[in-house]
Each structure stands twice: as C-alpha cells, then as structure tokens.
Structure 1
Amino acid sequence: MTVTLRPATEADLMAVGALHQRSRVAAYGSFLPLEALAEPTPEAMGRYWVERWAWERDDHRMTVADRDGRVVGFSYLGPDDAGDPATGLLNAIHLEPGERGRGTGRALMIDSLAAMRSRGWAHAALWVLRDNAPARHFYERGGWSATGEQRDEHISTALVPQLRYAREV
C-alpha cells in the first residue's frame, strides 16, 4: 500500500508521540544507554506533542505519513532556532522502525523542503545526533551538509552531541 502525506490534526498527536518514542528507541538504542531511552513513555511523549502543538501550531507545520489508516511517520518544521528569517528548521522526521527504507522518510523530507519554499525560506537547517550515522547518511543523500556547528542536548539523562546540517531549499 502507498503512503499518504497529510497535515497533522490534534487527533493525531497521541499517535505521533507514541511513534516518536518507538522511533527514538530504534534509532538511538545502539549508541545511547537504554535507561536514557526508557523515558518518556509513549503516552508522555504524546502529551508532550499535544502541549507543544498548542504553543507552536501558528508558525510550525506537522505532516503525518499515513499507511492504511495508521500514522507511520511524521515531520515537523518551523522557523530557524538561530533566528535567521531566511531559514526554516526541520525539527524532526521520525518513522515507525519497520518503515525505514520504504521511501517514507524521503517523501517527508521532500514535502518539508517544498513547505519551506512555500513559506519563502531560501535555506533549511536541522540538527542531527552526531552518533546517528544512518540519519546523517540519509540527510547527506538528500543534499544536506554539516555546517561545523555543534551543540549538546539532553535526551533524558544522556548529554548528546548534535551537528547542524543545512542546504538550500
């Protein structure tokens, strides 16, 4: 069956949160301690998205990938966190673990870049975990390049280095 991309609704947010948690465990489990990935629970991650969406829905965009009536991926974008008005930030692309390699992530990335263009942004940026080699390779194949900027962010109790990537839209 094919994947359909559509704007997320409030009714999707709990499913998005549960998917986000499953995606994090599958993607980060090889380099982060399991105790750092045990929290938040899928339900808590859903509540996180409900609250975040309430605050950011006016200037952010969430797209869900739907396969057979089930959310199997999502993307989330908004203004650049560095404050550059010509740049959009791809905050997230997450997939159900079994959805990797099926073209869903690529479809979400292409859709996100088109949305950034339609908002008038000339540049796109994102942050990716330094040790997430599959994600880095995915973005590099999609035309993204590391900028040399790095930051450290917490995922639960683990301090995790992130690299900034950028490209033209």
Structure 2
Amino acid sequence: MTLTIRPGHTPADVAAVALLHTLSRRDAYRDLLTPAELAEVTVERQHQSWSQRWAAESDTHRMHLAERDGELLGFCYLGPADPAAEQAPPGTGMLNAIHVRPDAVGSGVGLALMRTCLAGFADLGHTRAMLYVVRENDRARRFYERGGWAADGVARETMIGSASVPIVRYARAIP
C-alpha cells in the first residue's frame, strides 16, 4: 500500500485527472458555490479543458499523479510563471494545481505532491514559486501555509464555471 508518484502524460492520465479534479472541486467548493454553479463543474468540461491544456503545455509543464495500488488519489501540475501576467522575476514557477480525491484528504497525499512540486521546480531551475488559491478555501490555505507558502498581497478573480471567485496569490522560495 505504498504511495507512488509518477509523471502523467497519456490520454488516460488526462482523463483520470479530469475526473479527480471534478470530484475535488465539487468537494472543496460545496460551501462556496451555489448548487447550480457546482453543477457546471462536470467531468466532460474538465476533460476538455485538461486535454486542451496538456496539448498546449506538455513541453513546458509537468503533471504528476499520486497512486496507491494503481488507484489515482491526487495530482499536481506545475510549470513556469508567466512573467508578464504575474510580474514574476525570471526563475519563478507556478504551481497550477494540487488536487486530492476527497476521501484521501488528510492522508499525506497532498504533502507528497507538494514535495514533488518543490523538487520539480528545483529541477527546472526555479528559485521561487507562486500559486493561486480560492480566498475562502480555508482548508487549502492552511495546507499551503503549513508547506511554507505565504500570501503575497496579490488578489484577483477567476471563473469556476459561471461563478466569479476571488483568489489570492501565495509565494515561497524554492529550497
């Protein structure tokens, strides 16, 4: 029952990520979005989004899957920060996602994925990293803060389905 983290890169991996991302978002945002807004978070939409994103970014980004006994429990996705959009100095990476299956939250999967991301940033030569988290997602914010991330004062809105949601940026040095 060992947790294994491996690169994700196949169409089957992308489909599995879409399903897990849907489950994770519905769970994490159940008290933040209306039922109608949550209903817009579908496996089909996530699959289309992840397929397009991976096709466009697979040369510059990394996807890692956390599995136990061949069962997907979580994933992370990282790559370079957009210097223009983020006003990020050279050498800054962006942690685009860490999602864990709802029944595996608190089991250490997220922490293992975060460690994988930090090592991935170092491998890519990044000395700093950023991420965005939904402002009202206290559980995720506590998770990142325990991992050495700190809010840096940048806030904006993002769309989850048809809902405009406030997000805050966190940053940290890469060891």
TM-score band by shorter chain is: over 0.9
How far apart, CA to CA, are the structure 2 residues paired with 1:41 and 1:61? Answer: 23
1:35 offset after TM fit, Å?
Answer: 1.4
Q: How does 1:2-81 map to 2 (within 5 A)?
A: 2-10=2-10, 11-81=12-82
8 Å Cα contact 2:3-2:67 kept in structure 1: yes
Conserved 8 A contact 1:78-1:90 = yes
Alpha-carbon RMSD: 1.0
1:143 is matched with 148
Is 2:130 the counterpart of 1:129? Answer: no
Question: Number of aligned pairs?
Answer: 169
Alignment partners' CA distance in 1, 2:120 and 2:103: 26
Gaps of 5+ in 2: none
Residues 121-161 of structure 1 deviation map (CA, whole Å, 9 limit, x = unaligned):
10010000000000000000000000000010111121100
Distance 2:111 2:28 in 1: 16
Q: Report how far residue 37 of structure 1 moved.
A: 1.6
Alpha-carbon shift at residue 3 of structure 1 (Å): 1.2
Where does residue 102 of structure 2 map in the other structure?
97
Asked if the contact 1:79/1:85 (under 8 Å) is kept, the reply is no
TM-score by length of 1: 0.96
Q: Tell me, yes or no, if the aligned pair for 2:134 and 2:167 is still in contact at 8 Å.
A: yes
3-state SS, counterpart of residue 107 of structure 1: helix
Aligned-partner SS, 2:89: coil
Structure 1: 5+ residue stretches without partners? none
- 8 Å Cα contact 1:4/1:67 also seen in 2: yes
What TM-score does the superposition give when structure 2 sets the normalisation length? 0.93
8 Å Cα contact 2:41/2:160 also seen in 1: no
